[in-house]
Structure 1
Amino acid sequence: MVLGLTLTLAACGPDPRSPPSPAAAPPVDNQSFLERHWQRPLAPQGAAPAAFSPLEASLDPAACGQCHTPQFEDWQTTLHSKAMGPGLVGQLQEMDADAVDDHQACLRCHAPLAEQEADLQQTLAASGAAPARPDGAAFTHGLTCAGCHVREHGRFGPARRDGSGPATGDKMPHDGWQVAAAFADSRFCAACHQFEPDGYSLNGKLLENTYEEWRTSRYGRDNQTCQSCHMPDRRHLWRGIHDPEMVRAGLAIEFPAPSTAAGRVTAELTITSRGVGHAFPTYVTPQVIVEIGQAGRDGALLPETVERHLIARDVSLDLSEERSDTRILPDEARRYGYDRPRAARAAALVARIRVEPDAFYAEFYRATLRDTGFTKGRAAIGEALRQAERSGYVLYESQQDLSAAASSRR
């Protein structure tokens, strides 16, 4: 089960085995560039140019950070830098060192450099801690600067803000960079955030379908790219469901004062996806829980009055069944009505929206720890479960006074 979930949840499309051909000429369009740039598995970098200093030849993100400090500092705060977290590491620890195909099901997006694969193999084969690689590559670094920007020791990236690139004869570190417009194209992100058409599906929908959700939305039609929201002002932030501020910015939430006529409490909570360019949430791992219920004077919800609604693509743990899909699509308004008798102890009506970004992972980790045959990665999975259980947060809460028209929000 562990391997099956790893293959399905960590893989990001097909895994072709033919090595990529080096580009002999500049790409003629974004698509041709991306097909070469993201041909999996990535080819080894090979020997660095003789004129490169150790810093220029290094694949360690900290080496990039010596000159690209703001980008490196941003990256350190992101899930890209934590893409090889304990949940994935624990699963890899159960694999053999030479099980490259199984490794690649995870690494191809989470740590895609060939040098990171080599580091993982060395680590799994070592009886103790493996020595650091001289090129600075480590599978534990996750999705690094080099994972997106370096191929055969050549640097690739967007033009400068003014649209310019290196001029002939410019003397620059690591021989400058090759300008590629594809870095501002949403298809760049699709390399890891979209399954191929023949990828794993449930109920006729690909398990990972974020790019297509965006492409068919108003945002896709207007070419409001992934980067425009997730990399604002070129920041290397990639904020998403784990970030409350990012999520709040994409939603409009309304909860007008309730009615208390005829001994009943009636109200309506409306959530409008006003700035999310794909389904909310987009993947099978998060759950968003809407709670509406009456509370006593101490603020505690009275359990018998609470109604709960799930916003999620809810799938079975073995990924064999989609139990429901209640996600909110771009520009959709979802209304949750409430109509219950007023409880004798009720002083307020509370609406609360909780986000559990790692709900599916937490369930998976618990099941894994119940498997007595899972031994080598047990400590890492235990830590992953603790992190998943701590990742939830309250996105929104409103208390409406049932004895007056006043309301309070926070």
Structure 2
Amino acid sequence: MLRYKVVQMVLLILLGVFVAAAGWQNKLLNFWDHPSAAAEQHHDWSALEKNMRPEACAQCHESQFNDWKKSLHAKAYSPGLVGQFASMGHEAGSDCLRCHAPLEQQLFDSETQMLTSLKTLRQFPQGVSSTADLDASEAQLPLRHSGVSCAVCHVREGQRFGPPRKGSQQEGFIAGVAHGGFIASQKFEQSAFCAECHQFPQTYAINGKPLENTVREWQQSRFSQEGQHCQSCHMPDRKHQFKGIHDQEFTRKALDISVFINKYDLPVLQITSKHIGHAFPTYVTPKVTIQAKVLDKMGKVLQTWQWDMVREVFFAEGWQERKDTRLMPSETRVFTVSKLNEQAVQVLFEVIVIPDQFYKGVYQSLLLDNPEEDAKALIQRALQQAEQNDYLLYAERITVL
């Protein structure tokens, strides 16, 4: 009889785990629908487990935290974004946070809360304690200041979610002491998981293409057919670095760039998008400029050429696209200098990356409207940061004598 009751109890426990896992599997279908990290009352979490701040996660996941804190995900609640909220109102601001800080606990619930947040961001620009010190003032900030942090992707109603353990394909509930186990899903390693923020709907299309079309660009590339997802490049070996065009080394490795004299004796720069699974650059924000400078024997500039790779949009009675000259996945493009000056000795080719080209214009325009003090200070900070993000990706001289 005792043995029967023990077996019965084990079966009930297993049934409970199965039902719970099935419930969380359904939850994954709507993972980004009004996401909430708040733990339900019946969870017996420790104070540390209930704390959704990334500094709390760092107490056990230090390497992931150290990678993430340098990423743009950690800076998603940015001064350039927040500085616009004063003129928008808290409801419109919360619409922006659906990607920049999407948890329900991160959204604004009042105008006062939103305006207070502007002042707080001025005082604490980082939004996170870089040393993961839970006693630091940054660790006491509202959760929204941490942007796209650990809980945004890994916590729903207190339950932890993530990819299957390394070397395993097992999905569903995985028992464990920490957090009472977690729910494993291969969705965390698929591009569709990133699409909520990195693929805009067709309703945001300009000239037939959504404002941000990154996932669809990937779907149309060879990388999709080869099973290489966003995470393959931006989270290699599961590192939470989320590197992109702001990172010079990361960008340089993704491209093949060379200069040579072609069969017509003309200097050429050639760029191939070799390891990029979407348009380069993706989105409307960055611009990549290719410059050619013809030099005489004294190094004086005799002639110049410039080409841009950019999706340039503007607003005039609705959004319009001026041009789209971006490099598509696996595409090779050649930039040729012709009709050289007779005194030409060398041609200097340069590739310059301006990661925040579009935002610079937005910030400058906003400052002309003379925003209120807190908003103005944040937008000025954003513009200054954007100006510092430009970099020289490539430079090479070729002799033309």
TM range (shorter): 0.7 to 0.9
Residue in structure 2 matched with residue 62 of structure 1 by the alignment = 55
SS at match of 1:388: helix
Residue in structure 2 matched with residue 328 of structure 1 by the alignment = 327
Matches within 5 A, 1:106-145: 106-118=96-108, 123-124=113-114, 126=116, 137-145=142-150
Residue in structure 1 matched with residue 95 of structure 2 by the alignment = 105
> 2:180 matched to 1:181?
no
Q: Distance in 2 between matches of 1:106 and 1:170?
A: 36
Q: Distance in 1 between matches of 2:326 and 2:280?
A: 5
> 2:66 matched to 1:73?
yes
Residue in structure 1 matched with residue 289 of structure 2 by the alignment = 289
**Which of 64, 79, 85 pairs up with 1:86?**
79
Normalization by structure 2: what TM-score?
0.83
Contact 2:363 / 2:380 at 8 angstroms: preserved in 1? yes
The percentage of aligned residue pairs carrying the same residue is: 38
Amino acid aligned to 1:67: C
**Which of 209, 226, 233 pairs up with 2:230?**
226
Moved more, 354-363 or 135-144: 135-144
SS at match of 2:386: helix
SS at match of 1:248: helix
CA deviation after TM superposition for structure 1 residue 138, in Å: 2.2
Residue in structure 1 matched with residue 359 of structure 2 by the alignment = 361
Q: Distance in 1 between matches of 2:24 and 2:296?
A: 62
Amino acid aligned to 2:93: H
Q: Deviations over 1:303-328 (max 9, x none)?
A: xx111001011111566211111011
Gaps of 5+ in 1: 1-22, 404-410
Relative to its length, the structure with more helix (as a share) is 2
> 2:260 matched to 1:256?
yes
Contact 2:77 / 2:147 at 8 angstroms: preserved in 1? yes
Contact 2:37 / 2:52 at 8 angstroms: preserved in 1? no
SS at match of 2:269: strand
Residue in structure 1 matched with residue 159 of structure 2 by the alignment = 154
Q: Distance in 1 between matches of 2:325 and 2:139?
A: 49
Residue in structure 1 matched with residue 280 of structure 2 by the alignment = 280
CA deviation after TM superposition for structure 1 residue 170, in Å: 4.8
> 2:46 matched to 1:53?
yes
Residue in structure 2 matched with residue 18 of structure 1 by the alignment = none
Residue in structure 1 matched with residue 11 of structure 2 by the alignment = none
Q: Distance in 1 between matches of 2:246 and 2:262?
A: 31
Contact 1:294 / 1:343 at 8 angstroms: preserved in 2? no
Amino acid aligned to 2:272: T
Equivalenced residue count is 368
Amino acid aligned to 2:256: A
CA deviation after TM superposition for structure 1 residue 257, in Å: 4.0
Residue in structure 2 matched with residue 393 of structure 1 by the alignment = 391
Across the aligned residues of Structure 1 and Structure 2, the Cα RMSD in angstroms comes to 3.1
| Cα gap change, 1:134 to 1:45, in 2 (>3 Å) | farther
CA deviation after TM superposition for structure 1 residue 301, in Å: 3.6
Residue in structure 1 matched with residue 312 of structure 2 by the alignment = 314
Contact 1:194 / 1:211 at 8 angstroms: preserved in 2? yes
CA deviation after TM superposition for structure 1 residue 367, in Å: 0.7
Q: Deviations over 1:85-105 (max 9, x none)?
A: 110110123344xx32x1222
| Cα gap change, 1:363 to 1:66, in 2 (>3 Å) | same
Contact 1:368 / 1:374 at 8 angstroms: preserved in 2? no
Gaps of 5+ in 2: 1-17, 125-136
> 2:42 matched to 1:38?
no
